[in-house]
Structure 1
Amino acid sequence: MSFNGTDDPVAAVRAFNRFYTRKLGVLDQHLGKTPFSLSEARVLYELAHRDDLAAKEIGNELGLDPGYLSRIVQSFDEKGLITRRPLPADRRQYQLSLTAKGRQTFAKLNLSSQNEVAAMLAQLSAADATRLTQAMATIEAVLEQRPSQPAAFLLRSHRVGDMGWVISRQAAAYAADYNWDISYEALVAEICAQFIKNYDAAREHCWIAELDGEPVGSIFLVKATDEIAKLRLLQVEKKARGLGVGRALVEQCIRGARERGYSRMTLWTQSILVAARGIYQSAGFKLVKEERHHSFGADLVGETWELDL
């Protein structure tokens, strides 16, 4: 094992770390042209992907000094990026959540970081880019300790009562996470009503994810045309996030579209839905259209994604 001309493993790791941080331009602890330090960006990332985290929990996982983390939290609070509520079990500790402004801020930060990495990779050949990502995957697999047996979930077909659950949970989740108003609930109710009223079992389907016998997620496959299927209403409950439920639902929906003879899939989402966008992109969807609009009581950027089957 060697890096930078040394066979000492400790020296090699330290040398690689210096090289890597210098290469990504984060030695000054700032990301690109954003106003956030690396630590602040990491806190934003955790809050964007995991809901209702305790400040102490974030500090422990990221290895941040309590005083430094407290200053980050105070700064985010003053900027309107987060809400914080005292934990019932310990009033000295706070539970943190991103506000709608916070999620929009993270979406911009995430896009900026994605563009910078894409620009770096664009300088490499396809073979070198593959070698690089494979090496990174090896590092992650060796150093990351993963749970030996994640919680099991299952996907089933929709049944009586599921549409009411979908409408209720979609409306409540987006109101809590993004401050969307009741007009979003009306849209979801309309989609569900039309799905049931015009249901074509040979061309359409709804899958419900269950964990310990309770619904924790949903996705719809809906006919747009004879050739084009539409993916709609992907949603995963907070307690099931991080288990791969969203990815499994999307993969099942894609398989279902192929089995039903569609040649293309399309979906409409919003730029602030970072986790969902990541799943769509990993599944092979391509962003084909962006459009600013005001809906559900918020200024949004709507996105159309497509996948050739």
Structure 2
Amino acid sequence: MSVQDIRAFNRFYTNVIGALDYSRQLYAPYTLTESRVLYELAHSPRTDAADLRAELSLDAGYLSRILNKFQEAGLIERTTSTSDPRRRHVTLTAKGRETAALLAERADESVGALLATVPPDERPRLAEAMMTVRTLLADGRPPRREDVLLREPGPGDLGWIVQRNAALYAAEYGWNADYEGLVARIVADFAEDHDPHLERVWIAELDGRPVGCVMCVRDEAPATARLRLLLVEPEARGLGIGDRLVRAVIDFARGVGYHELVLWTNDVLAAARRIYQRHGFVLAAEKPHRSFGKDLNGQDWRLDLHSTRE
């Protein structure tokens, strides 16, 4: 392969992408860079300006102008970190989330139209070729925190949540099929009847494949949300994915008006418990029980969303 081969491929792919975005309808009324900033904010629920500058390689002044524009339009909120006054947290408002969702929907439709031109039996070969390019050009470097994307679930992701929960908890804790049944019921209930404004699922993606998940659903108690099914694949641990998933749930729950966030876990899940504690959850109750083929100690944890603002 020569330099000219790569340049020829770049020209081809640029033309393909350009064809998807005729007359800038894909991201109007925003520029391409502005739409990318919205995308990063939507998929990194709690970040700051310094992170955005590093992730997108943007000039500080240019990014500041974009964020000022977004704030004036009511798309974002900026708050000063209590732990480091030099850093300002940037989060999307409800209007910002709606705007980012609209842009994502347009992009999905455009790419879907492109994918429709590829015969179904050829799509696995296309996916493999794309992954090969990404893997080879990554030069064997280990994954970084910024390589992880938080996104909404796509087709097949809810089934992946059930399968990976069952497989991982069987391998790591010896839990039986009763746990798989529980997870399947939780996921099925969400898929069949959930309020998208008050309930949500996040998938953590690395190199094009899911490596983690979490859910936020309504609890029976008034103004209370429940965090469920936090999971991170073993090979993706150490990248802060669990923290990001829990933070995503907290920010979402607070943003849509819940007063309290609760969860149920077992004391053998030590790593998860440490994440909950770091984010301000407090142990409310615990009780031994026999479930999933094991003697366990169940725990209820709670977070007051009004007393934990950063």
Specify the alignment match of 2:252 in structure 1: 256
2:206 is the alignment partner of 1:211: yes
- For residues 261-309 of structure 1, the C-alpha deviation after alignment (integer angstroms, 9 at most, x for no partner) is 0000000000000000000000000001000000000000000000000
Written as runs of structure 1 = structure 2, the 5 A alignment for 1:89-168 is 150=145, 152-168=147-163
2:237 is the alignment partner of 1:221: no
Q: Distance in 2 between matches of 1:169 and 1:276?
A: 16
2:271 is the alignment partner of 1:236: no
Shift of residue 151 of structure 1?
A: 5.9
TM superposition outliers: structure 1 runs of 4+ over 6 Å: none
Partner SS for 1:196:
helix
The amino acid across from 1:154 in the alignment is L
Q: Is the 8 A contact 2:144 2:239 kept in 1?
A: no
Shift of residue 148 of structure 1?
A: 11
Partner SS for 1:266:
strand
- For residues 32-79 of structure 1, the C-alpha deviation after alignment (integer angstroms, 9 at most, x for no partner) is xxxxxxxxxxxxxxxxxxxxxxxxxxxxxxxxxxxxxxxxxxxxxxxx
- For residues 9-52 of structure 1, the C-alpha deviation after alignment (integer angstroms, 9 at most, x for no partner) is xxxxxxxxxxxxxxxxxxxxxxxxxxxxxxxxxxxxxxxxxxxx
In structure 2, which of residues 267, 272, 276 is the aligned counterpart of residue 271 of structure 1? 267
TM-score for the superposition, normalised by structure 2? 0.51
The amino acid across from 2:212 in the alignment is G
Q: Distance in 2 between matches of 1:304 and 1:266?
A: 7
Partner SS for 1:207:
strand
Partner SS for 1:284:
coil
Q: Distance in 2 between matches of 1:150 and 1:266?
A: 27
Partner SS for 1:191:
helix
Specify the alignment match of 2:298 in structure 1: 302
Shift of residue 226 of structure 1?
A: 4.0
The amino acid across from 2:199 in the alignment is E
Q: Is the 8 A contact 2:215 2:228 kept in 1?
A: yes
Residues 240 and 149 of structure 1, relative CA distance in 2, 3 Å threshold: closer
- For residues 123-181 of structure 1, the C-alpha deviation after alignment (integer angstroms, 9 at most, x for no partner) is xxxxxxxxxxxxxxxxxxxxxxxx99556201001122111100000000000000000
Specify the alignment match of 1:181 in structure 2: 176
Partner SS for 2:261:
strand
Q: Distance in 2 between matches of 1:276 and 1:181?
A: 20
Q: Is the 8 A contact 2:151 2:204 kept in 1?
A: yes
Residues 203 and 177 of structure 1, relative CA distance in 2, 3 Å threshold: same
Q: Is the 8 A contact 2:265 2:300 kept in 1?
A: yes
Specify the alignment match of 1:78 in structure 2: none
Shift of residue 199 of structure 1?
A: 1.1
Shift of residue 198 of structure 1?
A: 1.2
Q: Distance in 2 between matches of 1:149 and 1:215?
A: 15
- For residues 247-270 of structure 1, the C-alpha deviation after alignment (integer angstroms, 9 at most, x for no partner) is 000000100101110000000000
Give the unaligned 5+ runs of structure 2. 1-141, 306-310
Specify the alignment match of 2:75 in structure 1: none
Residues 293 and 152 of structure 1, relative CA distance in 2, 3 Å threshold: same
State how many pairs are aligned.
Answer: 163
Larger RCO, structures 1/2 (Cα 8 Å, 6+ apart): 2
Q: CA RMSD in A?
A: 1.5
Q: Distance in 2 between matches of 1:207 and 1:229?
A: 15
Specify the alignment match of 1:190 in structure 2: 185
Query: Percent same amino acid at aligned positions?
Result: 50
